[in-house]
A and B are shown apart, each in its own frame.
Chain A
Amino acid sequence: MAKFVCPSCDYVYDEAKGEPREGWPPGTPFAELDPEWCCPDCGVREQQDFEPLDDRASSTNR
């Protein structure tokens, strides 16, 4: 499962974990999120601005 990062604040959307508080249960593919759903941490960027995160680089990060 892929991870996507907010370009403004480094929040990571991890498809495996989802974001249950926001209504995205674990396993929700990034592509199924509302494109206008904004970053839950900074609110500056939206789903459509998120960038894919390289898996190997991120596994130790978060």
Chain B
Amino acid sequence: MSSAEAAAPIGVEWRDTKRYAWLLGTIIPAIPFLAWGLVEWTGSDLFWYFGPVFVFGLIPLIDLVVGRDPNSPPDEVIDSLENDRYYRWVTYAFIPLQYVTLIWTAWMLSQPQYGVADKIGMALSAGMVAGIAINTAHELGHKKESHERWLAKIALAQTFYGHFYIEHNRGHHVRVSTPEDPASARMGENVWSFMPRTVSGSLRSAWELEKKRFGRLGTSHWNIKNDVLNAWLMSVVLWGGLLAAFGLGILPYLVIQAVVGIWLLESVNFLEHYGMKRQKLESGRYERVNPSHSWNSNNIGTNVLLYHLQRHSDHHANPTRRYQALRDFPEAPVLPTGYAGMIVLSWLPPVWRKVMDKRVLAHYDGDITRANLHPAKEEHYLRTYATASERVAA
């Protein structure tokens, strides 16, 4: 651990250059309003589709232009940085804005003057907010304070993904970068086949985790205290309220925005640990999670909008650490660009493999056997990179 610590400049006062930039995260819930503003201003209905264009066009461009920030807080300031309550209020502020946007979108969807194509655009733009809200929920759900965990569930209600709070913390974090983890992508796997595996596997895992906990408690898991059930109940209440207020006609669009939000989150899961594998120890246990098991990105644009989620190595090594205190690690593998651009890349599996496979291989010093390989492609990879791995073994 000590070798992985960021070097602290002795006697140098450290200043958080991103302190006020974190407020930019509140732009995300404004996306649907921006879309509406652009439609009104230009008169073009195409701008209902502004949400995906912003997330997959503009944000990757900003990442390429603005560049990277390798600046890490030194160890001496970590505690005071974590205890500075300003930073947590920045994340709390996201949630009321998320709800204002959702309710406004539901109202817009009920307006008769808009056609189906307009409404699909509205739902896609709302889905961008829904997906990035899962990121906010992720930051809050890892914290020890119970009110923050509660806020995480509220942020997840929009996508009906409340079980993520259980599965992510107690499932994914425990099994990360092992073949057993449904939310860690294997080298050679493409995002389209990863989706059903991660969605169904994560759901099953969340349910099993709560079932096991209630088994120890000696009571039935069909219980309101089951965190999977009470999180879903929040969604039932929220969606029920929206349908009661704005009519059953908005249901298809509510489903679209939820699917888009879930898909956005799971795309991020796809790229965060692609091909990474923890090695098995003699005891039969996996080696401890360390910074080399997660892809990192120091791109400022996406990091500010995602509360440092891309400093993923430090997050997995120290999951309860608050976003503002996450550091960069030299031994972590580095993505060629931020998450938004990487998601675009994932839509084209051959391009994705061309860009990423050589990076996985380089991370493991050419030894392909150390990577987490997709079973269907394992033989192909072992054959293709055999000479390289033999060289290492020799």
Contacts and interface: CB of A to CB of B under 8 A. Distances in A.
B170 A38 contact: yes
A46 B289 CA distance: 12
A22 B216 contact: yes
Interface in A1-32: 8-9, 21-24
A41 to B, nearest CB: 5
Contact of A9 (B214, B218, B319): B319
A34 B174 CA distance: 15
Nearest to A8: B318
B280 interface: no
A45 B246 CA distance: 47
A43 B317 CA distance: 10
B216 A44 contact: no
B213 A22 contact: yes
B213 A44 contact: no
B197 to A, nearest CB: 21
Nearest to B316: A44
Interface string B306-327: 0000000000111110000000
A45 B174 CA distance: 8
Contacts of B216: 22-24, 34
Interface in A42-57: 42-45
A15 to B, nearest CB: 16
B383 interface: no
A38 B174 contact: yes
Contact of A43 (B144, B169, B213, B217): B169
A44 B217 contact: no
Contacts of A34: 216
Contacts of A9: 318-320
Contact of A44 (B144, B218, B288): B288
B173 interface: yes
Contacts of A45: 288
A30 to B, nearest CB: 15
Interface in B117-149: 144
A43 B170 contact: yes
Q: Is the interface of B mostly helix, strand, loop or mixed?
A: helix
Interface in B283-322: 288-289, 316-320
B170 A42 contact: no
Nearest to A22: B213
A8 B174 CA distance: 13
Given A38-B174, A41-B144, A44-B289, A23 B319 contact: no
A24 B170 CA distance: 17
Q: Which one of A9, A22, A42 has the greatest number of beta carbons of chain B within 10 Å? A: A42
Nearest to B219: A23
A41, A43, A45, most chain B CB atoms within 10 A: A43
A16 to B, nearest CB: 19
Contacts of B317: 44
Interface string B155-167: 0000000000000
Contacts of B288: 44-45
Contacts of A42: 173, 318-320
Contacts of A8: 318
A43 B173 CA distance: 6
Contacts of B214: 23
Nearest to A6: B320
A45 B213 CA distance: 17
A4 to B, nearest CB: 17
B213 A23 contact: yes
B89 to A, nearest CB: 22
Nearest to B317: A44
A61 to B, nearest CB: 15
Interface of B: 144, 169-170, 173-174, 213-218, 288-289, 316-320
Given A22-B213, A23-B213, A43-B169, 15 more contacts: A9-B319, A9-B320, A21-B213, A23-B214, A23-B215, A23-B216, A23-B218, A24-B216, A41-B320, A42-B318, A42-B320, A43-B170, A43-B173, A44-B316, A44-B319
Interface of A: 8-9, 21-24, 34, 38, 41-45
Q: Which 4 A-B pairs have the closest CB atoms?
A: A23-B216, A43-B173, A23-B217, A42-B319
